[in-house]
A and B are shown apart, each in its own frame.
Chain A
Amino acid sequence: MSLTRQEYTTLEKKIGRTPNKLELQIVAAEWSEHCSYKSSKKHLRILPREGARVISGKGYDSGVLDVGDGYVVTIHIESHNHPSAVEPYGGAATGVGGVIRDILSMGTRPIAILDGLRFGDIEKDSHARWLFKNAVKGIADYGNCLGIPTVGGEIEFDKCFTNYALVDVAAIGFGRKERLIKNKADKDDFVILIGGATGRDGIGGSQFASDTLESENRSAVQIPDPFIEKLVIEAILEARNQNCIKAMKDLGGGGLSCAISETADALSVGIELDVARVHKREPGMSPSEIMVSESQERMLLITDRQKLPVLKKICEKFRVPYSVIGRVKDDKMMQVKVETNTIANLACNIVANAPLLDREASEPEYIKKIKKVKKPNTPRNLSKILLKILENPNIASKIWAYGQYDHEVGIRTVIKPGQDASVLRLDNGKFLSVKIDGNSKHCYINPREGAVGCFEEACRNVVCTGATPIGMVDHLQFGNPEDPEIFWTFRQSLEGLTEFGKYFEIPCVGGKVSFYNETNDGPIKPTPLIGVLGLIEKDSPFIQKITDGDLLFVIGETKDELGGSEYYEYIHNIVGGVCPAVDLRTSKTNMWALLEIINEGWANCAHDCSKGGLAIGICELCIIYEIGCTVTMDKIPQVKLRSDETLFSESHSRYLLAVSPKNVKKVVDLLDARNVLYGLAGKFVGSRIIFKKNAKTVADLRVDKAREKWLNSVGQLVKHG
């Protein structure tokens, strides 16, 4: 818990005096990297934020998108990496809780959760398995109890996450536009803290997260209580319905310190609060402990004199503890008192706005070194390799995890987890498609192209459900930003995302940056995670199927881009080479052509090619729809490639389509008219997956055998500890 020498001097200069100990602690919490974004803020300004559907407001903690008919969708993403690496169950659970409250603070009901999880090599590392199992259980126990469905996500395993965990949670909310919290406050309004009692858990959590994970600091991890969160949700939504909330903010990193200073700063008011009034879990807590505790399930509300009794009554109905802790002032000061004694008095804009930094950036040495790798020899038995990749935990079904999540509650889940994007029905008759994607292996080799690839992959997934992307959120996760090489990878990723977002006119409606994701063994690979929301403005969603005799279209070109592929890394243990890159123009052409085909109703099924490449994409279709496929590899649009490269290259902008014979001509005509590279490369038939080249069989698998491996591999790995 500390400020740098320079920051201390700046603070002294700004407030014109020596800060006292409590003031220092308040500022240290708020000026931590976690709360202040002091390394990244200057750079984040380049992201496109505007869009016809985007609604922005003062102090909004989530992105808001107008989905028509008077409704809005809100979205936010957060991570809880450090806590999850120490205590995976509680860390992951409270990660869910935190992001849910961001959605709630907009006045919208949380309707879905997605999570992105990353761990070390679970095949060899029992600690990684322990982290994985408990993080999944933490998410399940929390989300299930709240009755918010966990509808999707992704899971990646890589040695760079050894002794560590990335737990990203995205939440989606839905509500009426006119019920969005306006976030305003007037002099003499009341400041109320509602929800769980403030205790000694999570003390210094934000600073803990702003440092390299070196020691296990369990007291910095928060304790989850989903039941109280559920009560808070219902109480707040009722208070919203009764217009009791003028402004609202959730308590997250930095606890009360950050919530108070950020709210006051965003609303251009002052707040006076009495820590003695805060309801506490244990006696004898010092004012500074109360101010920086990160106890969970707490919300800060501002209401006026007239509505205060109504709000109290609602809290009492739901038996949600609350305390009226302060008043709004017009002096823009944050004044902390113990009863009548003032113990801290700081200008909110000073507390809420840490001095921003200019970090140095330089291209890492390793990137140049790993560009060139010696190609592996083509394995003799590609069927065996294919089966091995299907079993690879990065590729295999994650049903072991999502089978523990209630993904049906709320009765909105039209397309369930386990396919491309998940689709939810909205009350205005439209459908929302959601997906998050990341790929640390690609991003390590090329942070810019890797990040763009994640963005495109999330879009591809959403488009495959027949939805048009309307907004994105990003979570940029890197090591120590003080290292210029790491900071360079951050900036590269950000620039790539910005370019893609601008080209496709997909606004960034929210995001987070998480630095210091390091252990004693070093930093994680750059891991930006991208969430994309898509909207389906039709009466019925795209229900996919594959019928015997359907033809397989492969859209997009397969290139010599095996760097970072599962084939290189998992099979050959090669880290390096050229990773897939997105050509923006081709990306758009292919994406819009695909969407047109789906919207015309000419496709029975659409799937994107990503991790594992074309071969895995085709196997996934065959496994899910329990049908065989014979693929003529010569028909696949590609540069000159070896068989293994065609099968496993992870080039972007590629899609697989299953089309009934009667629609083939329509699809061909459209793809020709749009100048899309495609191949009519196979037929769904029988019970085997067969890849042929020059009329010779290159790989041949039984669907049931492939299914068995793919479906059960992860579950079997974690079954016995």
Chain B
Amino acid sequence: MKVGVVVFPGSNCDRDMQHVLSDVFKLKTEMLWHEEEIPKNFDAIILPGGFSYGDRLRAGVIAAHSPAISGIKKMAEKGMPILGVCNGFQILVEAGLLPGALLKNTSLSFMCKWTEIIVKNNKTPFTNKLKINQRIPIPIANGEGRYYADKETLRTLKKNKQIVFTYCQEINGSSLNIAGICNKEGNVVGMMPHPERAAEPVINPIDAKPASMIFQSLLKSLGVAQ
């Protein structure tokens, strides 16, 4: 089993993600350069956080047009687990793999803080070991993290159970307090908070267990753990 972490110019959580996947959860992990096509022998793909292309034009929009993303679109169709975190979520949205948009926070500032998110869908490859309504202490760090979608889309999201995580309280103006969503099939998940920053006790001042379950879920869905 092999997980790929896609690196764009300006990605800056790529090494953090790799550390957690390979050193903490012992998953074979490889960095994939955005300009190269993704080889076939990968079983899950993660788009890490950062400032791809310096957030120029709009967060994630340039990266969404890279060769790696065209490959990922095909993988997504085949049902492969794909997770976008923070800028990775923004890229998935810009690439059309997830609906909605990510706008400037209502504070108009970059926000770095610990918060709690609530699990709303535990059928995805990244949440199958979590319980519905379970709380996860986790940090956010973004300037454009306010999830927005029109009423119609929000209704669809609710109907299809595509809302994966919500914030436990209003934090940045996100519609329905959405912190993470998935596609209709559930295999593509995007989230603004950073699970890789919360999965180890030494850096999580509250409780690392819930966030580590996001990675344990991936292990389960890849069949390498129960």
- On A, residues with C-beta under 8 Å from B are 137, 140-141, 144-147, 225-228, 230-231, 317-319, 402-414, 416, 425, 540-541
Report whether B16 and A406 are in contact in the complex, using a CB–CB cutoff of 8 Å: no
Report whether B202 and A147 are in contact in the complex, using a CB–CB cutoff of 8 Å: no
Report whether A541 and B112 are in contact in the complex, using a CB–CB cutoff of 8 Å: no
B19: interface (CB < 8 Å): yes
Q: Quick one: closest B residue to A405, CB to CB?
A: B112
B49 to chain A, nearest CB (A): 8
11 contacts between A and B (CB under 8 A): A145-B10, A145-B51, A147-B13, A226-B51, A226-B54, A230-B51, A317-B33, A408-B203, A409-B13, A425-B202, A541-B202
Q: Quick one: closest A residue to B194, CB to CB?
A: A408
Report whether B12 and A409 are in contact in the complex, using a CB–CB cutoff of 8 Å: yes
Report whether B9 and A231 are in contact in the complex, using a CB–CB cutoff of 8 Å: yes
Residues of B within 8 A of A405 (CB): 110, 112
| Besides A144-B112, A145-B12, A411-B196, 14 other A-B contacts (C-beta < 8 A) | A141-B110, A227-B54, A227-B56, A228-B54, A230-B51, A317-B33, A404-B112, A408-B139, A408-B194, A409-B13, A409-B141, A411-B200, A416-B205, A540-B202
Per-residue interface assignment for chain B, residues 12 to 47, with 1 indicating a CB less than 8 Å from any chain A CB and 0 otherwise? 110010011000000000000100000000000000
Cα-based distance from A408 to B141 in the complex (angstroms)? 8
Report whether A411 and B110 are in contact in the complex, using a CB–CB cutoff of 8 Å: no
B19 to chain A, nearest CB (A): 7
Cα-based distance from A147 to B86 in the complex (angstroms)? 13
Report whether B54 and A145 are in contact in the complex, using a CB–CB cutoff of 8 Å: yes
B135: interface (CB < 8 Å): no
- Kindly identify which residue among A137, A225, A318, A406 contacts B141, using a CB–CB cutoff of 8 Å: A406
Cα-based distance from A228 to B51 in the complex (angstroms)? 11
Q: Quick one: closest B residue to A431, CB to CB?
A: B202
Cα-based distance from A319 to B33 in the complex (angstroms)? 13
Cα-based distance from A407 to B197 in the complex (angstroms)? 11
Report whether A408 and B12 are in contact in the complex, using a CB–CB cutoff of 8 Å: no
**A413 and B54 in contact, given A403-B112, A406-B112 (Cβ under 8 angstroms):** no
Report whether A227 and B51 are in contact in the complex, using a CB–CB cutoff of 8 Å: yes
- Kindly identify which residue among B33, B55, B203 contacts A411, using a CB–CB cutoff of 8 Å: B203
B59 to chain A, nearest CB (A): 11
Of listed B20, B53, B110, B111, residue having the most chain A CB within 10 A: B110
B159: interface (CB < 8 Å): no
Cα-based distance from A408 to B24 in the complex (angstroms)? 18
B172 to chain A, nearest CB (A): 12
Residues of A within 8 A of B19 (CB): 411
Report whether B141 and A144 are in contact in the complex, using a CB–CB cutoff of 8 Å: yes
Residues of A within 8 A of B56 (CB): 227
Interface residue ranges of B202-222 to A (CB < 8 Å): 202-203, 205
Cα-based distance from A624 to B134 in the complex (angstroms)? 27
Cα-based distance from A440 to B164 in the complex (angstroms)? 51
Cα-based distance from A410 to B16 in the complex (angstroms)? 6
Residues of A within 8 A of B202 (CB): 414, 425, 540-541
- Kindly identify which residue among A228, A404, A412, A541 contacts B111, using a CB–CB cutoff of 8 Å: A404
Cα-based distance from A230 to B52 in the complex (angstroms)? 10
Residues of A within 8 A of B111 (CB): 403-404
Cα-based distance from A408 to B19 in the complex (angstroms)? 14
B153: interface (CB < 8 Å): no
Of listed A227, A230, A408, A425, residue having the most chain B CB within 10 A: A408
Residues of B within 8 A of A147 (CB): 12-13, 50-51
- Kindly identify which residue among A225, A226, A317, A413 contacts B203, using a CB–CB cutoff of 8 Å: A413
Report whether A318 and B9 are in contact in the complex, using a CB–CB cutoff of 8 Å: yes
A329 to chain B, nearest CB (A): 36
Residues of A within 8 A of B51 (CB): 144-145, 147, 226-227, 230
Residues of B within 8 A of A319 (CB): 9
Cα-based distance from A230 to B10 in the complex (angstroms)? 6
Residues of B within 8 A of A416 (CB): 205
Q: Quick one: closest A residue to B15, CB to CB?
A: A410
**A407 and B203 in contact, given A144-B51, A145-B54 (Cβ under 8 angstroms):** no
Of listed B49, B53, B143, residue having the most chain A CB within 10 A: B143
Cα-based distance from A320 to B107 in the complex (angstroms)? 34
Residues of A within 8 A of B141 (CB): 144, 406, 408-409
Cα-based distance from A148 to B40 in the complex (angstroms)? 33
B113: interface (CB < 8 Å): yes
Residues of B within 8 A of A414 (CB): 202-203
Report whether B203 and A412 are in contact in the complex, using a CB–CB cutoff of 8 Å: yes
Report whether B10 and A411 are in contact in the complex, using a CB–CB cutoff of 8 Å: no
Q: Quick one: closest B residue to A317, CB to CB?
A: B33
Cα-based distance from A319 to B50 in the complex (angstroms)? 18
Would you list the 6 A-B pairs with minimal beta carbon distance, nearest first? A147-B12, A227-B54, A145-B51, A406-B141, A411-B16, A408-B197
B109: interface (CB < 8 Å): yes
Residues of B within 8 A of A227 (CB): 9-10, 51, 53-54, 56
B46 to chain A, nearest CB (A): 15
Of listed A145, A318, A412, residue having the most chain B CB within 10 A: A145
Cα-based distance from A403 to B12 in the complex (angstroms)? 19
Cα-based distance from A406 to B114 in the complex (angstroms)? 11
A664 to chain B, nearest CB (A): 27
Cα-based distance from A382 to B196 in the complex (angstroms)? 47
Cα-based distance from A60 to B139 in the complex (angstroms)? 37
Residues of B within 8 A of A541 (CB): 202
**A408 and B55 in contact, given A147-B13, A425-B202 (Cβ under 8 angstroms):** no
Cα-based distance from A317 to B112 in the complex (angstroms)? 31
Q: Quick one: closest B residue to A226, CB to CB?
A: B54
Residues of B within 8 A of A144 (CB): 51, 110, 112, 141, 143
Cα-based distance from A183 to B105 in the complex (angstroms)? 45
Residues of A within 8 A of B49 (CB): 409
- Kindly identify which residue among A140, A146, A402 contacts B12, using a CB–CB cutoff of 8 Å: A146
**A230 and B20 in contact, given A408-B112, A425-B203 (Cβ under 8 angstroms):** no
B16 to chain A, nearest CB (A): 5
B60 to chain A, nearest CB (A): 14
Cα-based distance from A402 to B141 in the complex (angstroms)? 12
B69 to chain A, nearest CB (A): 18
Cα-based distance from A318 to B9 in the complex (angstroms)? 7
Per-residue interface assignment for chain B, residues 97 to 128, with 1 indicating a CB less than 8 Å from any chain A CB and 0 otherwise? 00000000000011111000000000000000
Report whether A403 and B113 are in contact in the complex, using a CB–CB cutoff of 8 Å: yes
B26 to chain A, nearest CB (A): 17
**A411 and B50 in contact, given A403-B112, A404-B109 (Cβ under 8 angstroms):** no
Report whether B110 and A404 are in contact in the complex, using a CB–CB cutoff of 8 Å: yes
Of listed A141, A144, A410, A411, residue having the most chain B CB within 10 A: A411
Residues of B within 8 A of A540 (CB): 202
Residues of B within 8 A of A404 (CB): 109-112
Per-residue interface assignment for chain B, residues 134 to 148, with 1 indicating a CB less than 8 Å from any chain A CB and 0 otherwise? 000001010100000
Residues of A within 8 A of B20 (CB): 411
Q: Quick one: closest A residue to B139, CB to CB?
A: A408
Q: Quick one: closest A residue to B199, CB to CB?
A: A411
Residues of A within 8 A of B196 (CB): 411
Per-residue interface assignment for chain B, residues 48 to 89, with 1 indicating a CB less than 8 Å from any chain A CB and 0 otherwise? 011101111000000000000000000000000000000000
Cα-based distance from A412 to B20 in the complex (angstroms)? 12
